[in-house]
Amino acid sequence: MTHPKIAFVGAGSVVFTQGLLADLFAFPELRHARIALHDIDADRLTTAEAAAHYIARELGADARITAHADRRAALTGADFVINIVQIGMGDATRTDFDVPARHGLRQTIGDTLGVGGIFRALRTFPFLKQLGDDITEVCPDAWLLNYTNPMAMNVQYLTRATGLDRVVGLCHSVYWTMQDLAKLVDVPYEEITYRAAGVNHQAWVLRFEHRGTDLYPRLDELIARDEQLRRRVRVDMYRRLGYYPTETSEHSAEYVPWYLHHDSEIDRLRLPVGAYLGIVDDNVAEYRRTRDALAQGAPLTVEGTMEYAPQIIHSIVTGTPRTVYGNVPNRGLIDNLPAHGVVEVPCLVDANGVQPTHAGALPPQLAALNRTYLSMNDLVVRAALDDEPRHIRHAAMVDPATAATLTVQEIWRLCDAMVRAHGELLPPSLRATLAEVTDS
């Protein structure tokens, strides 16, 4: 694999594409890669192509860069496929917040669990089926590296609906959590050792050490002295559960029933309800700045992001061994979580590909939370696989934050409103409105 072909699907997510390309071209062995960019938005695709050429020049890469409106053309012969598609873009995300808010449901990020996560998944699944079928036909040996949320639901659906087995979901939450923890306890990141496992956005730091010494007691001392640290959801969860969660407080608050339903907890833990919509606006503004800078010949900032996909590609191409965190079907990796679920565990990577490692059993209180998460995921995936719209409502009923806030009748009415709002973005079999069934 002298000059691997790497296809970017959803390359119009220009800022993220830029970071990944900067990471790729930082490896001398990948500077001659073939980069195929695909997006259905012509303007964004043109911008992504111009940015890719700029980054290649800046980093001295002699990559062959092509842009394709046709997805299959981009995929043909690919060794790696990086999926960063967001179906519906910012308008659909705004719907994911605005409609639940009108029904009394609070969300902070809305991309993984909850009503926002459910409907983000349902509008993404039809695309994933098409992508998986294309990969099977035109690049069956490719590794599919998925960044699109909701991560665990998407990976579960992909592997169930398409039969692809070279699929791994990638998220930076474990890496950045450990960076933050290392800073908190004032130990260089390069000197800590750690192990985490669980599910995406709700994995747990099971081991946190410096030269064989447990760093959790030092973290406990810091938390005891610092009231502001205690005003973080993830710190509150750590103090009660005994293990630090690997996602931000904004994310973590949505996956449990304890926080968003209570005004006092929102105030105590400084939860930014609906704040993600500001991030959506910022992303659009950043894209426009990049587009305008390229059109004017102005310089771009070229910065690496330490993402896992470039590291995986480098390891497979060169045989360099690494450990990354990946989201993969459980299949016995975590003993006390369902086999059908997608879990986040350490994965060895080398010329043999991505090889998940056995994590054993989680502490029971952690497994209990993860099982609820995976049960909700499974219902959403089954809704799509079985063409069963009732499972959408069942998933919302199982979701902890939704169930803590709304009655079952309110949940069904909210799901009807979401189905109507997303309309043709959803598979036809799932567009039924069902709340009237329980109105009699």
Measured distance CA(115)–CA(121) in Å, rounded: 10
Give the list of residues 6+ apart from residue 376 with CB closer than 8 angstroms, or none.
113, 118, 395, 398, 399
Measured distance CA(127)–CA(79) in Å, rounded: 20
Taking each helix axis from N to C end, the angle separating 308-318 and 14-25, rounded to the nearest 10 degrees, works out to 30
State the DSSP string of 50-72. HHHHHHHHHTT---EEEEESSHH
Sign of CA dihedral 294, 297, 298, 299: positive
Task: Examine the residue annotation and report whether 172 is marked as an active-site residue of this protein.
Answer: yes
CA distances in angstroms from 374 to 86, 184, 371, listed in the order given: 22, 31, 5
Q: Could you say which of 3, 32, 53, 172 is catalytic?
A: 172
Give the list of residues 6+ apart from residue 167 with CB closer than 8 angstroms, or none.
143, 144, 146, 155, 158, 159, 328
Main-chain dihedrals φ then ψ at residue 189, nearest 5 degrees: -55, -40
CA distances in angstroms from 271 to 181, 201, 402, listed in the order given: 20, 17, 16
Measured distance CA(35)–CA(426) in Å, rounded: 31
- Sort residue 332 into left (φ over 0), alpha (ψ -120 to 50) or beta: left
Query: Catalytic residue positions?
Result: 172
